[in-house]
Amino acid sequence: MTIAIIGLGLMGGSFMLALRGFEGATLWGVDSDPAAREAALVSGAADAVFETLPPGADILLVCLPPEATVMFVKDNTAHLGSLFCEICGVKRRIVREIAELLPPGVEYIPLHPMAGRETSGFAAADPRLFAGAGLIVTPPDGKPPRRASLIERTARYIGFSEVVYATPEEHDRLIAATSHLPHLAASALRLSLPGRVGYAYAGGAWRGGTRVADAEGFSGLFIENREHTLRAADTFIENLTALRNLIASGKQEELEALLDTARRREKGCL
User: Both 91 and 207 in a single domain?
Assistant: no
CATH code of the domain containing 235? 1.10.3660.10
User: Both 178 and 116 in a single domain?
Assistant: no
pLDDT on residue 168: 95
Query: Looking at 114-177, which runs of residues are DSSP E strands?
Result: 134-137, 162-165
User: Both 76 and 152 in a single domain?
Assistant: yes
User: Position 260: which residue type?
Assistant: D
Domain boundaries, position 73:
2-166
pLDDT of 142 > 80? The answer is: no
Q: What is the pTM of this model?
A: 0.88
Mean pLDDT to the nearest integer, 163-169: 95
| Residue at a domain's end among 166, 201, 229 | 166
pLDDT on residue 214: 84
User: Both 105 and 125 in a single domain?
Assistant: yes
User: Both 26 and 125 in a single domain?
Assistant: yes
Burial pattern 118-153, b for ≥16 Cβ within 10 A else e, equals eebebeebebebbeebbbbbbbbeeeebebeebbee
Chain segment 74-121, per-residue pLDDT in tens: 999 999 999 999 999 999 999 999 999 999 999 999 999 999 887 789
User: Both 213 and 245 in a single domain?
Assistant: yes
CATH code of the domain containing 106? 3.40.50.720
pLDDT on residue 269: 64
Rg (CA), the chain: 21
